[in-house]
Amino acid sequence: MARCFRNHSIELSKEIMNQTTINSKQDSGGILVSDFDGTMTRYDFYDLVCREFPGISAGDFWKQYEEGRITHFEALRSIFASIRCPKKRLVEIIDRMVIEPGLREAVLDLRQKGWSVVVASAGCDWYIKRLLRSIDVSITVHANPGTFSPDKGLLVTAPERSPFFSRDLGVNKVAVVRDALKRSAHVAFAGDGRPDLAPALLLPPAGRFAKNWLAKRLREIDEGFHPFVQWSEVAQALTGEEAQFKSSRTGQDADISQKEGDKLEKDFTSPGKCGDSLRRGDKRS
């Protein structure tokens, strides 16, 4: 049975610290890499869009992806481009994602205590940055760029100039975490869906924070993690007096993990039909 590290993080932290070899080039500050949809928000943009525009599934975009005719990114881009509504209505849908309570204060507390927060999302930065601005928070976001037109939908483009560009997914979360591991001895990851499994497994249990599908899957494969309900709990766990830990992977280990991580990224992001995620607790970003 998987361990959930709420009550014995001190012992686990000491164990990890004893096993860690610190790269001299690594930063002293911590890096928290976080998914956005369903992790920093209550609801996923993809789910809300599928519910609001049920006709989108008529395009069979996920079926084309499953048959190998298009990539995961192309399927998501086609679905978002199928949205037809005034900007005001889409903004209302975005607002229904609901930023987690206390997120702004949690980010500021992390920053004050030496942690930087990085968002890694296979979604679109158009709505991510909009929501972050609404609570006056400025953090690094790695997501697919996009613009909205009432006549053409949410137009998502591939971040080809990004060092974390993935032809299949747009943004490779594994690469984002791997980069953090090379820059810091203190790395954590928070997520909730299928695309979050691979990056989470690059870290030791003390650095994993999971909810929903991700938490369920980690339990199934007997991998330890910190469970959470609200994102502020992640910040509290990392900034508390008894919560110091160091990643057990060095930059060299991160390079070795690249092949494993890339394989997991493909194995565990296979989508179902549009709207299935509402029933399975699954997600796409």
Q: What is the CATH number of the domain that holds 123?
A: 3.40.50.1000
CB 242 within 8 A of CB 9: yes
CA–CA separation, 72 and 147 (whole Å): 19
| Residue 100 per-residue DSSP state | P
Give the distance between the most distant pair of CA atoms in the chain: 58
Residue 2 is assigned to a structural domain of this protein: no
CA–CA separation, 76 and 118 (whole Å): 22
Residue 1 is assigned to a structural domain of this protein: no
Domain assignment of residue 54, given as a range: 9-277
Residue 46 is assigned to a structural domain of this protein: yes
Four-CA torsion 206, 211, 214, 215, nearest 10 degrees: 70
Number of domains comprising the chain: 1
Q: What confidence score (pLDDT) does residue 245 get?
A: 55
Residue 4 is assigned to a structural domain of this protein: no
CA–CA separation, 161 and 186 (whole Å): 27
Helices (H), the chain: 9-19, 45-52, 61-66, 72-81, 87-95, 103-112, 125-134, 173-183, 197-201, 212-220, 231-239, 251-267, 276-280
Q: What is the pLDDT along the chain (285 residues), one digit of tens a residue?
A: 444 444 433 333 333 333 333 333 455 689 999 999 999 999 999 999 989 998 887 778 988 988 999 998 999 999 999 999 999 999 999 999 999 999 999 999 999 999 999 999 999 999 999 999 999 999 999 999 999 999 999 999 999 999 999 999 899 999 999 999 999 999 999 999 988 999 999 999 999 999 999 999 999 999 999 999 999 999 999 998 555 555 544 443 444 344 454 445 555 444 443 434 433 345 567
Residue 226 is assigned to a structural domain of this protein: yes
Residue 282 is assigned to a structural domain of this protein: no
Residue 17 is assigned to a structural domain of this protein: yes
Residue 171 is assigned to a structural domain of this protein: yes
